Structure 1
Amino acid sequence: MSEHLSIPTPAGSFDAIAAGPADGRPVLLLHGFPEAAISWEYQVAVLGDRGYRAVAPDQRGYSPDVRPERVAEYGMTSLVGDVLAIADELSWSRFDLVGHDWGAAVAWWTASEHGDRLRTLTAVSVPHPGALSYALRTDEEQQMRSQYMRDWRDPSTEKRMLANNAEALRRMFEWKVPPSRVDEYVQRLSEPGALTAALNWYRASRPAASIEKVDVPTLYVWSTEDVALGSVAAFETENWVTGAYTFQMLEDVTHWVPEEVPETLTAMILEHLAAH
């Protein structure tokens, strides 16, 4: 069984789920949009059972106590800062970092800028930002796939996503996530200001400077039926990792990897951790 934590940081207290012995090898798991820490519930429980200390926080905007109103406060510097602040509060000098969707983007930036803090990196779905940038420049299909990121900056997005019992928000999950879990995501994002905070991740300006290559031992997991992220960026990612690199491709799996194939993904994570 996972436990619930409140992790105080200078930005506010992050809600989190956790499992495993306090002195276990530390693993931090970062969720994406429009989810929460509970998307990692299965992985946290299994990692805990295996003796790791697994912690998954509700990230900035998703934790009610860390929900700034200014869009600028959802920039990558703040998001990476949250990762380090959480690790510092947990007294983790080095840790393994796992991320899915936006959590993977934050994990890539953390590995690029603070690789000395990480034992390993596991990125799920989202490729290295440099590889995605390459695909957006060269691949018309990826340009089309990524159009939603521009669309969601529109101020009408919240109303559109929550209309008709959040039909648009629910449809995003492609019926691959358990309905009870989707209900919980919808309930959380229907709280005043919550969906705006989550969408501010898309509205904040992103670093113009080119991200560096990553030298941390890296596992990248990509699924062939991901509607948002195509193969060009996925295959380009190996060119952005100078450390040990493992690429796993999941056939006939959609974007929602942690919840759609939890056993498969967890086995891959455990193998990666054991190898490094």
Structure 2
Amino acid sequence: MSKAVTSRTWFLTGASRGLGAHWAEAILARGDRLAATARDKAALTSLSERHGDRFLPLQLDVRDSAAVRDAVRSAEETFGGIDVLVNNAGHMLVGAVEEVEEEQARTQMDVNYFGALSATRAVLPGMRERRAGRILQVSSFGGLVAYPALGIYQATKWALEAMSDSLAAEVAAYGIHVTMIEPLMYPTGLAAASPQVPQDPAYTHARQALCAGAEAGGFTPGDPAATAEALLALVDAPEPPLRVLFGTGGLEALRTEYAGRLAGLERWDHIARLAQGKPGRS
């Protein structure tokens, strides 16, 4: 793993498990400073013991926007500023739109979208003042496509994508780069660790279609540990991408998806023209 030219200060949410745990280890292993959050700070004890004052563990529920602001302020006061924000905290509801309870849907949006929005807004004043910074939004391949039985989860990622796309254009003038990371399949236990949705037999076909779609797409699980090297390479890139896939198989699936969307819009272009009306008519 290559060394950074200069050490950086990171703020990473969701650092206690899954991809976030691998990333926290890699960030600290190369000598950078890290403020890391978890809903249970005790899960970060090992990192604290091994990395001392280069590591700041923070207990945080990203649904609490005031607590997010306080956590960012603590990191800035401890380390003097945040160079890289990684919005990784999240969970994944698996269930048809009708199956998901309203409270579950709101919580899903609060964690995956509003949590990332709060952290993003909190770091921006400091990054703008220094005219430098990296914001990495952990989206999903499901932020680019949508599958049955994942609609509520993917809605949060589509919202994150739209916000981040606009943000990138807004903050480029301040030397701030925004990158959306789109992981495909990784055995991190994300679904198992997420709230469960009561299953309605009426939507068994939707869950079956989800599994069949993954198989038909030829997606194979990637190595979660390998994503750490990819993350560091992104941050070291002078001109990072707006979007990047983590894992293989996604490009071909996206070519098929986007070709289908364009074909559908072209097939119904006569309706678009009908809705436009004739010039001069009000």
**Coarse TM-score class (shorter-chain normalised):** 0.3 to 0.5
Given the two structures, how large is their TM-score scaled by the length of structure 1?
Answer: 0.41
Given the two structures, how large is their TM-score scaled by the length of structure 2?
Answer: 0.41
Which has the higher Rg, Structure 1 or Structure 2? Answer: 2
